[in-house]
Amino acid sequence: MSESIEYSFFESVIKSFDKAAKFTKWDIGILEQIKACNSVYRMKFPVRIGDNIEVIEAYRVQHSHHKTPCKGGIRFSMAVNQDEVMALAALMTYKCAIVNVPFGGAKGGIKIDPKKYTSFELEKITRRYTSELVKKNFIGPGIDVPAPDYGTGAREMAWILDTYVAMHPGEVDSAGCVTGKPVSQGGVRGRTEATGMGVFFGIREVCSMAVVMQKLDLTTGIKDKTVVVQGLGNVGYHTAKYFREGGAKVIAIAEWEGAIYNADGLNEEEVFQHRTASGTILNFPGGTNLKLTTDALELECDILIPAALENVIDGGNAPRIKAKIIGEAANGPLTPEADEVFATKGTLVIPDMYLNAGGVTVSYFEWLKNLSHVRYGRMEKRFTENMNKHILGQIEELTGKEVSEGEKLFIEHGADEVDLVHSGLEETMITATREIMDIWRSNPDIPDMRTAAYVCAINKVGTSYAELGIFP
By CB under 6 A, name the one of 13, 34, 56, 73 that touches ligand GLU.
73
Instruction: Give the nearest distance from C-beta 179 to ligand GLU in angstroms.
Output: 5
Instruction: Give the nearest distance from C-beta 88 to ligand GLU in angstroms.
Output: 7
Instruction: Give the nearest distance from C-beta 375 to ligand GLU in angstroms.
Output: 19
- CA 348 – CA 359 distance, rounded (Å): 23
- CA 156 – CA 152 distance, rounded (Å): 6
Q: How many chain residues interact with ligand GLU (CB under 6 A)?
A: 11
- For 82-102, b/e burial (b = at least 16 CB within 10 A) is ebbbbbbbbbbbbbbbbbebe
Instruction: Give the nearest distance from C-beta 58 to ligand GLU in angstroms.
Output: 16
- Amino acid, res. 277: A
With respect to ligand GLU, which residue has the nearer C-beta, 96 or 349? 96
Distance of CA 268 to the CA centre of its chain: 19
With respect to ligand GLU, which residue has the nearer C-beta, 179 or 347? 179
What's the chain's length in residues?
472
With respect to ligand GLU, which residue has the nearer C-beta, 144 or 302? 144
Residue 360 binds to ligand GLU (criterion: CB under 6 A)? yes
- CA 286 – CA 157 distance, rounded (Å): 36
Residue 174 binds to ligand GLU (criterion: CB under 6 A)? no
Site map for ligand GLU, 311-340, x if CB under 6 A?
A: --------------------x---------
With respect to ligand GLU, which residue has the nearer C-beta, 147 or 161? 147
Instruction: Give the nearest distance from C-beta 260 to ligand GLU in angstroms.
Output: 27
- CA 132 – CA 363 distance, rounded (Å): 23
Give the range of 24-32, 52-60, 68-76, 162-170 binding ligand GLU by CB under 6 A.
68-76
Residue 359 binds to ligand GLU (criterion: CB under 6 A)? yes
Instruction: Give the nearest distance from C-beta 150 to ligand GLU in angstroms.
Output: 8
Give the range of 66-74, 136-144, 303-311, 417-425 binding ligand GLU by CB under 6 A.
66-74
Contact 61, 40 (CB under 8 A): yes
- CA 46 – CA 129 distance, rounded (Å): 10
Residue 179 binds to ligand GLU (criterion: CB under 6 A)? yes
Instruction: Give the nearest distance from C-beta 353 to ligand GLU in angstroms.
Output: 9
Q: Identify the helix (H) or strand (E) that includes residue 368.
A: helix 358-372
Where in 63-198 does DSSP place strands (E)?
Answer: 70-76, 104-110, 144-148
Residue 77 binds to ligand GLU (criterion: CB under 6 A)? no
The phi and psi torsions of 269 (rounded to 5 degrees) equal -70, -40
Residue 363 binds to ligand GLU (criterion: CB under 6 A)? yes
SS3 333: coil
With respect to ligand GLU, which residue has the nearer C-beta, 328 or 435? 328
Residue 304 binds to ligand GLU (criterion: CB under 6 A)? no
By CB under 6 A, name the one of 58, 64, 72, 231 that touches ligand GLU.
72
Q: Which residues pair with 9 in a beta bridge?
A: none
Residue 149 binds to ligand GLU (criterion: CB under 6 A)? yes
Q: Give the sign of the dihedral formed by CA 313, CA 316, CA 318, CA 320.
A: negative
Residue 85 binds to ligand GLU (criterion: CB under 6 A)? no
Q: What is the CA radius of gyration of the chain?
A: 23
Instruction: Give the nearest distance from C-beta 72 to ligand GLU in angstroms.
Output: 5
369 tagged catalytic: no
- CA 11 – CA 84 distance, rounded (Å): 10
With a CB cutoff of 8 Å and minimum separation 6, the contacts of 229 are: 236, 239, 240, 243, 250, 252, 253, 254, 268, 305, 307, 329
Continuous H helices in 105-233:
119-135, 154-167, 194-207, 210-215
Residue of 67, 71, 107, 381 marked active site: 107
Residue nearest to ligand GLU (CB): 73
With respect to ligand GLU, which residue has the nearer C-beta, 71 or 450? 71
Residue 239 binds to ligand GLU (criterion: CB under 6 A)? no
Enumerate the active-site residues.
107
Which residues make up the interface to ligand GLU (CB under 6 A)?
Answer: 71-73, 147, 149, 179, 331, 356, 359-360, 363
